[in-house]
């Protein structure tokens, strides 16, 4: 009985640690609502940590051209992402016209993009740390910088 | 007991005051606001200057290197623009240039520590007002001989008070660029 309890505790502990690790970099949230009567409603929540992990599995030759283009700009990308991470929360960009409304907001450790137009609403939230890791993963393809 | 309580409260008040004094200064923002009446479009951009300060030194592309822009010689026809900036800085407030042409009026002046440029185009009813704090103008010219020091200018902007830097208005559009400590443009 005690052995079973210990095994159960082991599984529970492992699941808890795995959950904590997977969610450590936050979640990417994509939500699309089409306003037509037969429109699609998509809501996707993905642990951000999975993106760089998935990119790691992509064969290098697929990412090499992108890596080559990206490498010269990595200092700027790093500076921009670290600057964004350190700056206070707030609306960075807001565009409104007679039909559309779009915002780019820094919220916590994420960049949140919301777009509303007569046909659909789109909400995308991406954690900055995961973005940085994913971009580095692409830039490192075919050899470390 | 009362004395202990009083001492504790005084200590707490002193701690609060010290914390307030040591608190970080509020973040400064560069705002851009565009209102276009012709298509009812509004654009608001609020960029923390700290972000600009972090990104600019990292750019190394074309004429942009380490926070400075290579712009050739800052001397024009043998005239040292940096020396002119120094001379104007020490000059009293007043109008330096006034041009009145049939299609355009231009006015360059110094007022309250700012370099001010007003341009009015009569044909399309466009008005441009530019206000540059002197500290920023000086910082722009503080690079090496052939470079504009953008990084120093941003640092100077961060220390400048709340200022409207650029206003452009025509029949349809209004553009305003300014700095303050608020994170919204309205």
Chain B interface, Cβ < 8 Å to A: 27, 29, 39-48, 50-55, 57-61, 183-185
Nearest to B55 among A79, A88, A94 (CB): A79
Nearest to A83 among B29, B39, B50 (CB): B50
Identify the CA nearest to B161 among candidates B131, B128, B120. Answer: B131
Q: Which residue of B has its CA nearest to A93?
A: B45
Nearest to B39 among A75, A93, A97 (CB): A97
Helix/strand/coil percent split, chain A, to 5 = 45, 30, 25
Q: How many CB pairs under 8 A join A and B?
A: 68
From residue A124, how far is each of A45, A101, B89, B133 by CA, in Å? 10, 14, 49, 39
Provide the pLDDT confidence category of residue A61 given band limits of 50, 70 and 90.
confident
Give the end-to-end CA distance of chain A in Å, rounded to a whole number: 54
Q: How high is the pLDDT of residue B21?
A: 47
Give the whole-angstrom CA distance, residue A47 versus residue B182: 33
Provide the pLDDT confidence category of residue B48 given band limits of 50, 70 and 90.
very high
Cβ-contact A80, B56 below 8 angstroms: no
Domain locations along chain B: 27-180
More confident residue, A57 or B11: A57
Q: Which residue of B has its CA nearest to A90?
A: B183
- A15 has a pLDDT exceeding 90: no
- Which pairing describes strands B173-180 and B29-36: parallel, antiparallel, or unpaired? antiparallel
Q: Which residue of B has its CA nearest to A80?
A: B55
Identify the CA nearest to B62 among candidates A82, A77, A81, A73. Answer: A73
* Alpha helical stretches, state H, B48-148: 49-55, 81-90, 134-140
- A64 has a pLDDT exceeding 80: yes
- B83 has a pLDDT exceeding 60: yes
Residue with tokens 């995961």: A130
Over residues B70-79, mean pLDDT = 63
What distance lies between CA A145 and its chain's CA centroid? 23
3-state secondary structure of B14: helix
Over residues B19-43, mean pLDDT = 80
Q: Is ipTM over 0.90?
A: no
Identify the CA nearest to B59 among candidates B159, B151, B179. Answer: B151
Cβ-contact B157, B133 below 8 angstroms: yes
Mean pLDDT, chain A, integer: 87
């Amino acid at each position: 009985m005690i052995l079973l309890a210990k095994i159960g505790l082991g599984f529970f502990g492992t699941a808890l640690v795995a959950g904590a690790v997977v969610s450590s970099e936050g979640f990417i949230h994509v939500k699309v609502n089409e306003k037509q009567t037969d429109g699609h409603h998509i809501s996707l929540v993905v642990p951000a940590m999975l993106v760089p992990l998935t990119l790691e599995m992509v064969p290098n030759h697929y990412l090499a051209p992108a890596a080559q283009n990206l490498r010269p700009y990595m200092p700027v990308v790093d500076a921009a992402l670290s600057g964004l991470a350190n700056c206070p929360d707030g609306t960075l960009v807001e565009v409104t016209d007679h039909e559309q409304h779009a915002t780019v907001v820094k919220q916590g450790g994420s960049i949140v993009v919301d777009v509303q137009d007569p046909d659909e609403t789109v909400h995308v939230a991406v954690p900055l740390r995961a973005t940085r890791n994913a971009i580095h993963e692409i830039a490192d393809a075919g050899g470390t910088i | 007991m009362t004395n202990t309580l009083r001492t504790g409260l005084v200590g707490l008040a002193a701690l609060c005051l010290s914390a307030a004094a040591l608190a970080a200064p509020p973040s400064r923002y560069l705002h851009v606001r565009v209102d276009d009446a012709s298509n009812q479009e509004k654009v608001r951009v609020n960029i923390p200057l700290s972000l600009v300060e972090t990104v600019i030194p990292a750019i190394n592309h074309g004429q942009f290197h380490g926070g400075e822009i290579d712009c050739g010689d800052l001397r024009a026809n043998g005239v040292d623009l940096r020396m002119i900036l120094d001379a104007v800085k020490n000059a009293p407030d007043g109008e330096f240039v006034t041009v009145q042409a049939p299609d355009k009026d231009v006015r360059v002046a110094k007022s309250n520590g700012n370099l001010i440029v007003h341009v009015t185009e009569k044909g399309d009813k466009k008005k441009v007002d530019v206000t540059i704090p002197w500290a920023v103008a000086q910082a722009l010219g503080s690079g090496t001989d052939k470079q504009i020091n953008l990084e120093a200018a941003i640092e100077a902007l961060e220390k400048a008070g709340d200022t409207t830097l650029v206003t452009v208005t025509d029949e349809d559009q209004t553009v305003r660029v300014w700095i303050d400590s608020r994170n919204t443009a309205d």
